Amino acid sequence: MYITTDSFLRIGKTHSICEDYIIHGYEKSPHVILADGCSSSSNTDIGARTLVHIAKQNLAPDVGEKTILIADIIHKLLHLNKTTLDATLIVSYVKDKIIHIHAYGDGVIILVDKFNNVTFNEIIYNNNAPYYLTYTIDKVRNELYVKQLNKKFINGTEYPKLSGIHYNFSTEVYKTVLISSDGISSFLSNEKGILETTNVVNELVNFKNTTGRFIQRRCIKMIKDYEKNGYFHFDDLSIGGFYINHDNLREGEIE
């Protein structure tokens, strides 16, 4: 078995600066980490990058808690407001043949099993108000959120916890596991309206090959085809993940 990882990032059509950020790599273990900054808060493009790079150093179940505490110290030293860290964070990494995903805020988890069945979990918060990690270090904002917007919904199901959502997926079961910001649900045509997330997901996982920059190639081709048909993604888009090949180990890849 070997694992290939890749990621893709592109600014949304209606944005003047990209507030998404994503990285992938193999140091310590194969990993993909993304953050999506809140457009209504200032300088969250900086906050998103801060969160991602700190999370990379803490690939463990308590990654969110550690990341926000360290990020807060760094932003204080830079004299940046705490709200610059208003960003969703999704951390995924491979350990002991399990892909661990820790999601703090909204986003999409996409799965393709060994039989090519495609499923996805779209994490949606009530009133489009994600619970940011910054609320855990700001008592006033946390109390306000809990009072007004404390109900989270995943596929229509109430999810009351405010400590992140955690998934484990076996590399023995799945061959593709992807994470995405909510920009994947923002493809729009002025004539035809919003494109269903299901359609985008099925198009996304239609990989021609899974070597090298397989996600980047697929996203570029997919977006180009959508644009020909009048669709564009108005929100920033970050997508990354893993392809698990269950054949023999290949030189230069990760077991």
Place of tokens 């079961």: 173
Over residues 107-124, mean pLDDT: 95
What pTM was estimated for this model as a whole?
A: 0.93
Q: Which domain holds residue 157?
A: 2-245
Q: Is residue 254 part of a domain?
A: no
Over residues 126-146, mean pLDDT: 87
pLDDT tens, position by position, 187-213: 999 999 999 999 999 999 999 999 999
Q: How far apart are CA 121 and CA 109, in angstroms?
A: 5
Check which CATH number belongs to the domain holding 61 and give it: 3.60.40.10
Q: Is residue 252 part of a domain?
A: no
Q: Label residue 148 left, alpha or beta by phi (over 0 means left) and psi (-120 to 50 means alpha).
A: alpha
Q: How far apart are CA 243 and CA 163, in angstroms?
A: 28
CA end-to-end distance (rounded Å), the chain: 6
Q: Is residue 251 part of a domain?
A: no
Domain count, the chain: 1
Q: pLDDT class for 149, splitting at 50, 70, 90?
A: low
Q: Is residue 255 part of a domain?
A: no
Place of tokens 């209504």: 40
pLDDT confidence of residue 247: 74
pLDDT tens, position by position, 84-115: 999 999 999 999 999 999 999 999 999 999 99
pLDDT confidence of residue 150: 52
Q: How far apart are CA 214 and CA 74, in angstroms?
A: 34
pLDDT confidence of residue 147: 76
